[in-house]
Amino acid sequence: MEQRKLGTQGLTVSAMGLGCMGMTFAYGTADEGEAIATIHRAIELGINFFDTAEVYGPYTNEQLVGRALRNRRDGVVIATKFGFRFKDGIRGVDGTPENVKRVANESLARLGIQTIDLYYQHRRDPSVPIEETIGAMKELIDEGKVRYLGLSEVSPETLRRANAVHPISALQSEYSLWERRVEDRVLPTVRELGIGFVPYSPLGRGFLTGAVNVDALGEDDFRRSNPRFSKESARANQRIVDAVRAVAAQCNATPAQVALAWVLSRGSDVVPIPGTKRRRYLEENVGAFDVHLGADQLEQLEGLYEQTAGERYTPEMMKLVEQ
């Protein structure tokens, strides 16, 4: 598989990663055996970049990823995240140096590894200067516990301040055919500073695949509370899916492959991490590398994001997203 660089510090990963969150968290019933088989199949297909976080579960996702990658550490890049306070759900953020280091040590133990390859702050803590948070993350590099640093959903201003303390290798933010706000200010800043970009939810939390029935989502499915998955928004957003499906028919591909091919085409510094917990969807996603979007197809896809109905998160969660 094609390799892409994240940042200028030496981090190189497969051009597509695997988001592991849904294997234990947010998207309904878990199947550990299939999840582990999916991670192993990803390695066979050339994917070496795996994304998890403390809050996924909480804790259970890192534990599962650790079990799946035991004895398969060579050549694998593991990214994890800290930054949420939670008890019976997310209760805020914590970017204090003490939390930075506590979570890193606990994540290392759950993952069963000696060093975290890419350590992200999951969400900025506005009560703690970003310089203090990044300073603590830098100390983890000095201690050999972390290799590279990342941030998620921060503004250009925060990114610049952080990068002045220690080079940031990757910024993770939502980016897809129905969510492109990062193009206004964030992507230009990332490229100016030489930072890699890691889009999460490149399939719109599955909606862009055309396979999601919002009425059939389980009670424990995070998307039931997501504004874009309300019945009203979903009806409006179906227009986007229909347009993606039309392009897919032209390309002899699936809607998921077209949506991923579009993200992959946005630059050699872009590494999407579509999430799945099943091998068949993983294999479908990897097929995006065989899809060529011509000028006509790109034009058909260009304005779809302007039709998106519903916000990305609930108002409470949107407060944690810097623009």
Q: What positions carry a catalytic annotation? A: 56
**Residue 186 φ then ψ, to 5°:** -70, -50
Distances (CA, A) of 111 to 16, 23, 176, 201, 294: 21, 15, 29, 23, 42
Residue 53: partners with Cβ closer than 8 Å, 6 or more residues away? 21, 61, 62, 80, 81, 82, 120, 122
User: Which residues does residue 152 pair with via DSSP β-bridges, in sequence order?
Assistant: 172
For the chain, what is the radius of gyration of the CA atoms? 18
Instruction: Look at the alpha carbons of 281, 286, 291, 297 in this order and tell me if their dihedral is positive or negative.
Output: positive
- Percent helix, strand and coil across the chain, each to the nearest 5: 45, 15, 35
Count of C-beta atoms within a 10 Å radius of residue 247: 25
For residues 56 and 24, the answer to whether their CB atoms sit within 8 Å is: yes
Separation of alpha carbons 263 and 258, rounded Å: 9
Which residues partner with 143 through β-bridges?
none
Partners of residue 84 on adjacent β-strands: 93
Report how far residue 27's alpha carbon sits from residue 191's, in angstroms, rounded to the nearest whole number. 33
Looking at the DSSP assignment, which residues form a beta bridge with residue 118?
Answer: 79, 148
Reported residue count of the chain is 323
Q: Residue 102 contacts by C-beta under 8 Å, 6 or more apart in sequence?
A: none
